[in-house]
Amino acid sequence: MNDPTKSGLIIIVTGLSGSGKSSALKILEDNGFLAIDNLPVLLLPKLLAIRKESRGDFIRLAVGMDGRDPDLVAEHEKAFEEAREMGYDLRLLFLEADDDALVKRFSETRRTHPLSAAAGNLGAAIELERRELSPLKAIAGLVLDTTNLQASKLRDVVVRRFVNPEGHRHLSVEVLSFGFKNGLPPEADLMFDVRFLPNPFYIDRLRAMDGRDEEVRGYVLSFPETQEFLEKLLGMLQFLLPLYQREGKSYLTIAVGCTGGQHRSVALAVHIWENLRESFQGPLVLRHRDIS
């Protein structure tokens, strides 16, 4: 099997209406695929040919196809083979769910099943679509029953199968220092107030410095309460970061605030960032919002 992290990969996302095809497409789009929903199957080779003529390179493409396309069942073999002849690794993901789950989802969203007009009612439309798409299910490389599948689990399966076989998430972490007097940072996911620590601002020789200076850092880190706070905070972050990754979170901002955003918050943000660098496997950024 080709490496799914390389370009030249097409994922056809198909299956029953209401089974989660749009969610699967969004997961692939969030992981670097060009996502197109409701592409008629006959247009797939034409799209790839235009791309080859204009750019000459491969793309990673996720395409949603379903029973609304009258040519899908009859023409998919030819279209898929043409894509493979162009050098693409084409794979088929088929999503389904049981009738009760599909009926409940359509009732909750108040959407109309695309085959309702032809079938007469929702139950008959689901049965018709299930029957018509059975040839695609038979050739799918992966069939997912989403009846009891949580969104996080769907993301995990799709990422592991088509994006990263090891299942590692692309979580980007920012450690941010700020001053409360300048307002709260709206991007903060986790916020910690360190104004309980002694303030270097009241030490004449430290006032003009900031928390990046070794003398200020040494002062802030010298207190037992600072060390105890950092021990507990770093332990909590070591616990939380893998859980955020597992749930598919893309960005996490850890904000540390003091009064002015110059001394205590900066010193602790630097310390947190340095400690996370030793263990966190992912993009890690340090930013001081309120240092002039």
Query: pLDDT by residue (tens digit) across 222-251?
Result: 999 999 999 999 999 999 998 888 777 778
pLDDT reported for residue 68 = 85
Mean pLDDT over residues 168-195, rounded?
Answer: 90
Domain residue limits, the chain:
9-163, 172-288
Percent of the chain with pLDDT over 90: 67
pLDDT reported for residue 79 = 96
pLDDT reported for residue 1 = 41
The tens digit of pLDDT for each residue in 40-63 reads 999 999 999 998 888 877 889 999
* Rounded Cα distance, 4 and 10, in Å: 10
Phi and psi at 145, nearest 5°, equal -95, 115
Let me know: does 189 contact 182? Beta carbons within 8 Å: no
How many C-beta atoms surround the C-beta of residue 182 within 10 A? 13
- Please provide the average confidence, as pLDDT, over all residues in the chain: 90
pLDDT reported for residue 7 = 53
9-163 carries CATH number 3.40.50.300:
yes
Torsional sign, CA 204, 205, 208, 214? negative
Torsional sign, CA 274, 277, 278, 279? positive
* Pair of tokens at residue 33: 């695929």
Ranking 12-16, 145-149, 229-233, 254-258 by mean pLDDT, the lowest is 145-149
User: Taking the model in full, what pTM does it have?
Assistant: 0.61
pLDDT reported for residue 5 = 40
pLDDT reported for residue 13 = 96
Query: What residues have CB less than 8 Å from 170, skipping those under 6 apart?
Result: 31, 250, 282, 283
Query: What residues have CB less than 8 Å from 238, skipping those under 6 apart?
Result: 279
The tens digit of pLDDT for each residue in 119-177 reads 788 889 999 999 999 999 999 999 999 998 888 788 888 888 888 755 455 688 999 99
